[in-house]
Amino acid sequence: MAKRLTKALRGKRRWVGLVCASNLKTRNDIEQKLDQLVQQLGLSKTPRLMDFFHSETETSRRFCTDYDKHQENVGVMILRVVHEDTPVLRATLGEEAALERHGMTTYTTSGKIRLVRLRMGIEKPKRHKG
């Protein structure tokens, strides 16, 4: 049996919670936007979309009312980003006009996905037992 990578040997990553525009309705829409960002910013690896709730879901509505009263009719998502790419991604998506320009803007970042979910009011998805 192959040895398992220890935590120290695995690549470091950050979890980025984002708010996305209401016109992004599917995971495919988000992944296309991410591919464009990778090209524009020269990221070393495409961020992985972990959780996504478009603007018409209960999770995103709850986020709009509970967490960010300035945002209405937006979706929420969480990306796994390579540690080295995090500063440039946050700088670009943290700009004031990022939501209009890129269709998404950062809300929170952490080294633990649990904390990003907690801050954004996203429940951990149920695991499917097969």
d(CA 79, CA 52): 9
Contact 128, 34 (CB under 8 A): no
Q: Which residues contact 31 (CB under 8 A, 6 or more apart)?
A: 49
Contact 33, 27 (CB under 8 A): no
| Tens of pLDDT, residues 21-40 | 989 999 999 999 999 999 99
pTM listed for this prediction:
0.86
Q: Which residue has the tokens 């004031």?
A: 96
Domains annotated on the chain, with CATH: 13-120 (3.30.70.3250)
| Tens of pLDDT, residues 92-126 | 999 999 989 999 999 999 999 999 999 999 888 78
